Chains A and B, each alone.
Chain A
Amino acid sequence: MKEKLVLIGNGMAGMRTLEELLKLAPDKYDITVFGEEPYGNYNRIMLSPVLAGEKTINEIMINDLQWYEENNVALHSGKKVTRIDRVKRQVIADDGTVESYDRLLLATGSRPFMLPVPGADLPGVISFRDIKDVDTMLETSRTHKKAVVIGGGLLGLEAANGLMLQGMAVTVVHISETLMNQQLDNAASELMLQELKSKGLNFLMSHATESISGEDRVEKVHFKDGSEIDADLVVMAVGIRPNIELAQSAGIHCERGIVVDDTMQTFDPTIYAVGECVQHRSQTFGLVAPLFEQAKVCANHLAQMGIARYISTVTSTKLKVTGIDLFSAGDFNGDDETEDLVFKDAARHVYKKLVIRDDRLIGVVLYGDTVDGTWYFQLMKDGTAISDIRENMLFGQHHIGDSGHGAANSTDNLPDDAEICGCNGVCKGDITKAISQHNLYTLDEVKAHTKASASCGSCAGLVEQILASTLGSDFNDTPSKKAMCGCTDLSHDEVKTAIKAQELKNIPQLIEALEWKNPDGCHSCRPALNYYMLSSWPREYQDDPQSRFINERVHANIQKDGTYSVVPRIWGGVTNPRELRAIADISEKYKVPTVKITGGQRIDLLGVKKDDLPKMWADLSDAGFVSGHAYGKSLRTVKTCVGSEWCRFGTQDSTGLGIKVEKMTWGSWTPHKFKIAVSGCPRNCAEATIKDIGVVCVDSGYELHVGGNGGIKVRATDFLCKVATEEEAMEYIAAYMQLYREEGHYLERTAPWIERVGLKHVQALVVEDETNRKRLAQRFYESQENAQTDPWAEHAAKYKENYIPIKQVS
């Protein structure tokens, strides 16, 4: 017989837990849900748009009654559970309904805190919490005129704005002089105050409420300073308190909230709790993102998978309040030891403040323009040294050495048919529709449903903006570190550290030791793990071809029709008639449909059938060619210009150096593809300043430039240093490449890697510390000993059967 799971609380946290649970273990439990409100589960965050008349109740339903039926979940709506009998394992509702349970999940949420002042119980004094409150406000707005909102926080301002839009004259009463003091500093709060005043809201700042009076219903609000104000409706929005009465009455350990451990279990092992009612490591919760994290963890344990832990992390808050974009994170007020970077343009309603301590960003407030919030938050979490970008960082990521996407970054004004994702042709309207239809909350969900930002990812910021403005006020972009993939909660760095620390020497061992959720991993993590193994244990690790993407498995690039392209290595882009003749002959022999000169100074033979690959490679080998690795997360090419041998401006032998560098670096696997160029003079014909590392020859030596990229987001290189001789240039290149191999996350090009760790860090380890440079270079040479075998010759000789069908049947 199935076990019985009872959920008390039909709100967002509890229901999200059920949804996650049904995904993991659809048939494990008979599920019963109790909800006090007479509806299915609705999106409480969206009550503000309902009040403002922008949405209807039906539009904010997450799980309608049909959902409960389809998923075999019994719903007792409109019934309040009044007692939990932990001995008999039963819950009892106010109408006498009794349900027994094997596991109980408490998601009783929070209650609005009502100021304990005289008159707080008068008709017309309400909170702003559920559909009933919204109905009361809408009704009152039709018959009455004056509304007073007590509390100038997020919820209070949303209520005030909604009531104003319904035609009421609204006054907001706030106890301090800073609106939204949880999220804003004084300056931002002042801007907000001015902007809301100009919209028509009235404010009484620094006013403490003493009492509320009236005959049959509320008439006046009185303040401690003796003043008073007329009111037909009073909305209290001074905070929420975890709703713990039921848990307390059942003797479950509570402090401010129901105390849970990292698995969301209460002190009674059969009872779990999630959401605003819980207290986890002394913290209580009010925004939606952490609740969803909790739901995931709790579902994992209810499904008895037992591997997830809830760890609350630094969060950022991204809000849209009454149409104003706000973002804040960390310690945004600062102290005597911090420095502020401040940007203020009152006419455009934009304010930004960055708080810095010891060359690290520790706090952010953004008002009006929150595009760069995610970026600042990332800098904070990563503890990135900011001295290199300090000069321009206030103006946003697009002003830090990249000329790619400076313009269009405000999605609000875009029409629905504006294309957001150029790779997959997804328009703004498709995204907003998917968000509201499928109740999407995170970038990953939008990616999965619409494919927007699922390919090259350059539009991810725009998609997040759309997500924020569609979800409205309580959108909180998922905080915390980025998990490597769905198989684990660990980040790339944590996995890499574990590989070294626990001496994990192959993928199955890692999957077991780090408790991967899928025993085989997935198509996303396996290639990454294979690379980390290879770069951590270059001498021992046995490469796993089944964990490589097809291109690396068959040493050619798959094309849209399932054929492949073949690119032989042409050292430094220098070839000769004999080689060209060989390529021409081989192309004819295998009827290659397209022969194309690549951007990396090589020749691409396109449209080759898989069966022909080994034969073609054997022929190319005979002509002296090796693989060009045009298909790999590896060294691609070293592009050169002709240099001093021919060019009248050339200062050094750039072609010669390019060939030497290519001979040194070919065959090495890297976190992502790696491109090099050598230019013979500062005219830079080899375009060295958009490569992963570029050498620009000058009369007195060699300039080394790093972290460039000509792809999705153009990024010019940073100047690493200048060296005097070719030998030095080679050593620096080896050391730099090795540092990237060791530190880069899989699929992270050098450009984002350098932005993440900082140029200073790279300079310190490669330029300033000679011993370390030599060690890095040494490790690179060592790993190259096993890497420089031509895979084409090897596969043509040994693995032909991998390229042919197992059998042909008629």
Chain B
Amino acid sequence: MSWTEVGPLADIPNKGSRVLVTKDGDVAVFRTAGDEVFALFDQCPHKAGPLSQGIVYDKRVACPLHNWVIDMESGEATGPDEGCTRTFETKIENGVVFISL
């Protein structure tokens, strides 16, 4: 597995996210209240809303367009909504976030 450096954890707001621009599109890198990091392809499975702009709680993010709630671990929509967005593995080493693209 090859890891790409994203940047310092401190640069991602707690209960927030930053965007990583890749040649295949934007990736949303989230930081939870407990300082865990998750990464999702930055498109809601519903209408492609930018998940990076949503409200983060627990291990979930609510899409800013129509409030679909996406589980950040699995990328699956929760509740009765159905759909899935791509997830990426991440790790934190010495306060620096890495992603496997």
User: Among B11, B54, B58, which residue has its beta carbon within 8 angstroms of that of A801?
Assistant: B11
> Is A805 an interface residue, CB under 8 A from the partner?
yes
Contact A546 B53 (CB under 8 A): no
C-alpha spacing A554/B55, complex, angstroms: 13
A546 and B13 in contact, given A518-B58, A523-B69, A806-B29 (Cβ under 8 angstroms): yes
Contact B47 A806 (CB under 8 A): no
Chain A residues with CB under 8 A of B65:
558, 560
Contact A546 B21 (CB under 8 A): no
Contact B13 A519 (CB under 8 A): no
Contact B67 A523 (CB under 8 A): yes
A806 and B55 in contact, given A562-B49, A801-B11 (Cβ under 8 angstroms): no
Chain B residues with CB under 8 A of A554:
53
C-alpha spacing A810/B20, complex, angstroms: 11
In the assembled complex, 29 residue pairs joining A and B whose CB atoms fall closer than 8 Å, in A order, are: A448-B80, A449-B80, A518-B57, A518-B58, A519-B58, A520-B32, A520-B33, A522-B57, A523-B54, A523-B55, A523-B57, A523-B62, A526-B55, A545-B13, A546-B56, A547-B55, A550-B53, A554-B53, A558-B53, A562-B49, A562-B53, A806-B6, A806-B11, A806-B29, A807-B20, A808-B20, A808-B21, A809-B4, A809-B23
Chain A residues with CB under 8 A of B33:
519-520
Chain A residues with CB under 8 A of B79:
448
Chain A residues with CB under 8 A of B57:
518, 520-523, 526
> Is A267 an interface residue, CB under 8 A from the partner?
no
C-alpha spacing A558/B7, complex, angstroms: 26
Chain B residues with CB under 8 A of A521:
57
C-alpha spacing A553/B55, complex, angstroms: 10
Chain B residues with CB under 8 A of A558:
50, 53, 64-65
Query: Which A536-551 residues sit within 8 Å CB-CB of chain B?
Result: 545-547, 549-550
Extra A-B contacts (13), CB below 8 Å, given A523-B67, A805-B19, A808-B22: A520-B32, A520-B58, A522-B55, A523-B55, A526-B57, A546-B16, A550-B53, A550-B54, A558-B50, A801-B11, A805-B18, A806-B7, A806-B11
Chain A residues with CB under 8 A of B66:
455
User: Which 3 A-B residue pairs are closest in the complex by CB-CB distance?
Assistant: A523-B62, A520-B57, A806-B18
Query: Which A790-810 residues sit within 8 Å CB-CB of chain B?
Result: 801-802, 805-810
Chain B residues with CB under 8 A of A547:
15, 55
Residue among A520, A527, A547, A558 having the largest count of chain B Cβ atoms under 10 Å: A520
Query: Which A757-810 residues sit within 8 Å CB-CB of chain B?
Result: 801-802, 805-810
A549 and B64 in contact, given A523-B54, A805-B19 (Cβ under 8 angstroms): yes
> Is B92 an interface residue, CB under 8 A from the partner?
no
Contact A809 B64 (CB under 8 A): no
Query: Which B51-98 residues sit within 8 Å CB-CB of chain A?
Result: 53-58, 62, 64-67, 69, 79-80
**Minimum C-beta distance from B83 to chain A (A):** 13
With both beta carbons as reference points, the residue of chain A lying nearest to B19 in the complex is identified as: A805
Chain A residues with CB under 8 A of B64:
549-550, 558
User: Among B6, B16, B67, which residue has its beta carbon within 8 angstroms of that of A807?
Assistant: B6
Chain B residues with CB under 8 A of A455:
66
Chain A residues with CB under 8 A of B55:
522-523, 526-527, 546-547, 549-550
Query: Which B1-27 residues sit within 8 Å CB-CB of chain A?
Result: 4-7, 11-16, 18-23, 26
Residue among B12, B33, B57, B62 having the largest count of chain A Cβ atoms under 10 Å: B57
**Minimum C-beta distance from A88 to chain B (A):** 41
C-alpha spacing A553/B33, complex, angstroms: 18
**Minimum C-beta distance from A19 to chain B (A):** 14
**Minimum C-beta distance from B91 to chain A (A):** 16
With both beta carbons as reference points, the residue of chain A lying nearest to B79 in the complex is identified as: A448
Chain A residues with CB under 8 A of B14:
546
Contact B7 A807 (CB under 8 A): yes
C-alpha spacing A559/B26, complex, angstroms: 17
User: Among A438, A545, A805, which residue has its beta carbon within 8 angstroms of that of B20?
Assistant: A805
What is the count of residue pairs linking A and B with beta-carbon distances less than 8 angstroms? 87
C-alpha spacing A65/B97, complex, angstroms: 48
Chain A residues with CB under 8 A of B54:
523, 550
How many chain A residues touch B (CB < 8 A): the figure is 30
**Minimum C-beta distance from A563 to chain B (A):** 10
Chain A residues with CB under 8 A of B26:
805
**Minimum C-beta distance from B22 to chain A (A):** 5
C-alpha spacing A546/B55, complex, angstroms: 7
Chain B residues with CB under 8 A of A802:
13
Contact A520 B6 (CB under 8 A): no
Chain B residues with CB under 8 A of A546:
13-16, 55-56
C-alpha spacing A805/B47, complex, angstroms: 22
**Minimum C-beta distance from A442 to chain B (A):** 13
With both beta carbons as reference points, the residue of chain B lying nearest to A448 in the complex is identified as: B80
**Minimum C-beta distance from A302 to chain B (A):** 22
C-alpha spacing A809/B79, complex, angstroms: 34
Chain A residues with CB under 8 A of B32:
520
**Minimum C-beta distance from B85 to chain A (A):** 14
Query: Which A656-679 residues sit within 8 Å CB-CB of chain B?
Result: none
**Minimum C-beta distance from A83 to chain B (A):** 42
With both beta carbons as reference points, the residue of chain B lying nearest to A434 in the complex is identified as: B80
Residue among B49, B55, B101 having the largest count of chain A Cβ atoms under 10 Å: B55
Contact A809 B101 (CB under 8 A): yes
With both beta carbons as reference points, the residue of chain B lying nearest to A525 in the complex is identified as: B57
Chain A residues with CB under 8 A of B47:
560
**Minimum C-beta distance from A574 to chain B (A):** 33
C-alpha spacing A430/B18, complex, angstroms: 38
Query: Which A594-641 residues sit within 8 Å CB-CB of chain B?
Result: none
C-alpha spacing A801/B64, complex, angstroms: 20
Chain A residues with CB under 8 A of B7:
806-807
C-alpha spacing A741/B7, complex, angstroms: 41
Contact B21 A562 (CB under 8 A): no
C-alpha spacing A560/B5, complex, angstroms: 31
With both beta carbons as reference points, the residue of chain A lying nearest to B57 in the complex is identified as: A520
**Minimum C-beta distance from A181 to chain B (A):** 40
**Minimum C-beta distance from B33 to chain A (A):** 5
Contact A805 B15 (CB under 8 A): no
**Minimum C-beta distance from A554 to chain B (A):** 8
Query: Which A249-265 residues sit within 8 Å CB-CB of chain B?
Result: none
Chain A residues with CB under 8 A of B15:
520, 546-547
C-alpha spacing A802/B33, complex, angstroms: 18
With both beta carbons as reference points, the residue of chain A lying nearest to B11 in the complex is identified as: A806
C-alpha spacing A810/B11, complex, angstroms: 20
Bitwise interface map of A from 511 to 533 toward B, beta carbon under 8 Å scored 1, else 0: 00000001111110011000000
With both beta carbons as reference points, the residue of chain B lying nearest to A518 in the complex is identified as: B58
**Minimum C-beta distance from A31 to chain B (A):** 24
With both beta carbons as reference points, the residue of chain B lying nearest to A806 in the complex is identified as: B18
**Minimum C-beta distance from A426 to chain B (A):** 13
Chain A residues with CB under 8 A of B50:
558, 562
Contact A805 B62 (CB under 8 A): no
**Minimum C-beta distance from A3 to chain B (A):** 26
**Minimum C-beta distance from A612 to chain B (A):** 14
Chain A residues with CB under 8 A of B80:
438, 448-449
With both beta carbons as reference points, the residue of chain B lying nearest to A523 in the complex is identified as: B62
Residue among B29, B32, B53, B67 having the largest count of chain A Cβ atoms under 10 Å: B53
Chain A residues with CB under 8 A of B18:
805-806
C-alpha spacing A550/B63, complex, angstroms: 10
Bitwise interface map of B from 38 to 56 toward A, beta carbon under 8 Å scored 1, else 0: 0000000001111001111
Chain A residues with CB under 8 A of B19:
805-806
C-alpha spacing A554/B16, complex, angstroms: 13
Bitwise interface map of A from 728 to 771 toward B, beta carbon under 8 Å scored 1, else 0: 00000000000000000000000000000000000000000000
Residue among B11, B15, B29 having the largest count of chain A Cβ atoms under 10 Å: B15
Bitwise interface map of A from 430 to 441 toward B, beta carbon under 8 Å scored 1, else 0: 000000001000
**Minimum C-beta distance from B70 to chain A (A):** 11
Chain A residues with CB under 8 A of B48:
562
Chain A residues with CB under 8 A of B20:
805-809
C-alpha spacing A316/B67, complex, angstroms: 31
**Minimum C-beta distance from A566 to chain B (A):** 16
C-alpha spacing A808/B20, complex, angstroms: 6
Chain B residues with CB under 8 A of A545:
13, 16
